[in-house]
């Protein structure tokens, strides 16, 4: 395999999604057949990256994208977590080998097309073949649970409504929101552009002003019903305007970094399959993340009111799912829509290289 082919594979893999478009990875070309992916996480500054779990899911998404991209060049991919790497800086050794007659993965054409859709979608029911396509997209170690009827979507809408109250009134989350939105943009290389957030331009202007200072946001939330407008636009309406909400659960407990990386593989297969079916998807990860906090007994905030709400929300989420030993790894909504006009783009390949090549 030539260096040029390797660079093309890495260039495609850049399109892997990550929470808040953080792209928590750097590539090191060790040989033309061996890339070391230096993962990291954002738990230091991002309250949503609970113990690095969201980043580890993203690492799995990236590794699966690399694997799928490589099949287009007749290459088989094997990766493993370097045994001496730390949980917060996992290094994945990825080896490519020529495999005569290896067909391109059917999901290959969708690597660059896949995109998050945060705006309301059309609530056309999923067909049986679409549902089956999604179920068979991922390995038997995972289960999908669909919430499709109006009553089920309403239940999710209520959960997401209360979930958003936590997000918007938690000072630790406020700092994250401030950092990850690129205001006034349609595209963003390393964040989420304002136009992809899903708010109308007027609410956007207001949010930008309110989000300048926590004291301002806090006052607005407390006395001027400041969470209502964004919650209607970003949570309630989109939660109803979709074909289904889907939870991905593991059958067994998630214990190690590798378990979470494998869950990321499943998430990317599901998301690319959604794209291949002509549908769109938005992850709705914060209820799950809040549950991860609640289950581990870790406090998310310095405010006890926020921690209490997180505990209650986790309980409500649990009441929606069967009581088994698995872990929730993904919650999303899926629907019919036109292509979003705004999206996150990516850092250039040279910025993602940590060996100067």
Ligand X SMILES: Cc1cc2nc3c(=O)[nH]c(=O)nc-3n(C[C@H](O)[C@H](O)[C@H](O)COP(=O)(O)O)c2cc1C
**56 near ligand X (CB under 6 A):** no
Q: Which is nearer to ligand X, 75 or 329 (CB)?
A: 329
Query: Between residue 335 and residue 354, which ones bind ligand X under the rule CB under 6 A?
Result: 343-344
Stretch binding ligand X (CB under 6 A), from 132-140, 240-248, 272-280, 283-291? 283-291
Stretch binding ligand X (CB under 6 A), from 54-62, 121-129, 242-250, 301-309? 54-62
CB 310 within 8 A of CB 86: no
**317 near ligand X (CB under 6 A):** no
Q: Which of 12, 13, 18, 272 binds ligand X (CB under 6 A)?
A: 18
**Minimum distance from residue 24 beta carbon to ligand X (Å):** 10
User: Which residue has the CB atom at the shortest distance from ligand X?
Assistant: 17
**Minimum distance from residue 17 beta carbon to ligand X (Å):** 3
CB 10 within 8 A of CB 62: no
Show the site string, 60-79: x = touches ligand X by CB under 6 A, - = not.
-x------------------
> Cβ neighbours of residue 116 under 8 Å, at least 6 residues apart?
17, 196, 280, 281, 282, 283, 340, 343, 344
In the DSSP assignment, the letter for residue 139 is -
Q: Which of 210, 285, 306, 310 binds ligand X (CB under 6 A)?
A: 285
Q: Which of 64, 105, 194, 284 binds ligand X (CB under 6 A)?
A: 284
**59 near ligand X (CB under 6 A):** no
**Minimum distance from residue 118 beta carbon to ligand X (Å):** 5
Spatial distance between the Cα atoms of 238 and 231, rounded to a whole number of angstroms:
10
Q: Indicate the pairing of strand 34-39 with strand 25-31.
A: antiparallel
**115 near ligand X (CB under 6 A):** yes
Query: Between residue 118 and residue 137, which ones bind ligand X under the rule CB under 6 A?
Result: 118
Q: Which of 37, 54, 199, 270 binds ligand X (CB under 6 A)?
A: 54
CB 353 within 8 A of CB 30: no
**21 near ligand X (CB under 6 A):** yes
**Minimum distance from residue 219 beta carbon to ligand X (Å):** 26
> Cβ neighbours of residue 202 under 8 Å, at least 6 residues apart?
none
**57 near ligand X (CB under 6 A):** yes
Spatial distance between the Cα atoms of 130 and 142, rounded to a whole number of angstroms:
18
Q: Which is nearer to ligand X, 27 or 280 (CB)?
A: 280
- Distances in Å between the Cα of 184 and the Cα atoms of 59, 181, 188, 232, 342 are 29, 9, 10, 21, 11
Query: Between residue 191 and residue 220, which ones bind ligand X under the rule CB under 6 A?
Result: 192
DSSP structure string for 206-268: HHHHHTT-HHHHHHHHHHS-TTHHHHIIIIIHHHHSSSEEEEEEESS---SHHHHHHHHHHHH
Spatial distance between the Cα atoms of 24 and 156, rounded to a whole number of angstroms:
30
- Answer left, alpha or beta for residue 344, where phi above 0 means left and psi between -120 and 50 means alpha: beta
**Greatest alpha-carbon span in the chain:** 66
Show the site string, 263-282: x = touches ligand X by CB under 6 A, - = not.
-------------------x
**Minimum distance from residue 19 beta carbon to ligand X (Å):** 4
Question: For ligand X, how many residues bind (rule: CB under 6 A)?
Answer: 20
- Distances in Å between the Cα of 182 and the Cα atoms of 73, 157, 215, 232, 324 are 36, 26, 21, 21, 40
The footprint of ligand X (CB under 6 A) covers 17-21, 54, 57-58, 61, 115-116, 118, 192, 282-286, 343-344
């Amino acid at each position: 395999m030539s260096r040029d082919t390797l660079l093309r594979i890495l260039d495609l893999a850049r399109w892997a999604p990550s929470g808040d478009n953080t792209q928590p990875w750097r590539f090191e070309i060790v040989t033309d057949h061996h890339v070391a992916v230096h993962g990291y996480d954002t738990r230091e500054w991002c309250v949503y990256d609970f113990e690095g779990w969201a980043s580890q899911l993203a690492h799995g998404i990236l590794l699966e994208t690399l694997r799928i991209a490589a099949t287009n060049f007749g290459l088989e991919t094997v990766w493993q977590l370097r045994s001496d790497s730390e949980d917060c800086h996992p290094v994945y050794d990825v080896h490519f080998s020529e495999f005569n007659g290896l067909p391109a993965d059917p999901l290959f054409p969708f690597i660059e097309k896949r995109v998050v859709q945060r705006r309301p979608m059309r609530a056309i029911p999923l067909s049986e073949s679409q549902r089956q396509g999604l179920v068979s997209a991922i390995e038997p170690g995972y289960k999908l649970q669909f919430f499709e009827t109006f009553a089920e979507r309403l239940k999710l809408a209520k959960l997401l409504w209360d979930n958003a109250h936590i997000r918007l009134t938690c000072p630790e989350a406020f700092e994250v929101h401030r950092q990850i939105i690129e205001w006034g943009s349609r595209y963003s290389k390393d964040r989420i552009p304002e136009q992809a957030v899903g708010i109308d331009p007027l609410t956007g202007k207001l949010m930008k002003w309110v989000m300048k200072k926590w004291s301002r946001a806090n006052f607005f939330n407390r006395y001027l019903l400041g969470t209502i407008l964004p919650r209607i636009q970003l949570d309630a309406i989109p939660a109803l305007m979709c074909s289904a909400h889907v939870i991905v659960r593991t059958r067994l407990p998630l214990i190690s970094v590798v378990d979470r990386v494998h869950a990321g593989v499943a998430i990317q297969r599901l998301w690319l399959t959604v794209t291949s079916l002509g549908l769109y998807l938005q992850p709705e990860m914060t209820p799950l993340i809040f549950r991860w906090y609640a289950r581990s007994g870790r406090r998310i905030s310095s405010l006890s009111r926020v921690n209490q709400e997180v505990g209650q929300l986790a309980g409500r989420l649990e009441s929606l799912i069967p009581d088994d030993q698995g872990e929730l790894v993904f919650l999303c909504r899926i629907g019919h829509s036109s292509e979003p006009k705004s999206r996150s783009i990516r850092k250039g390949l040279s910025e993602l290289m940590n060996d100067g090549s």
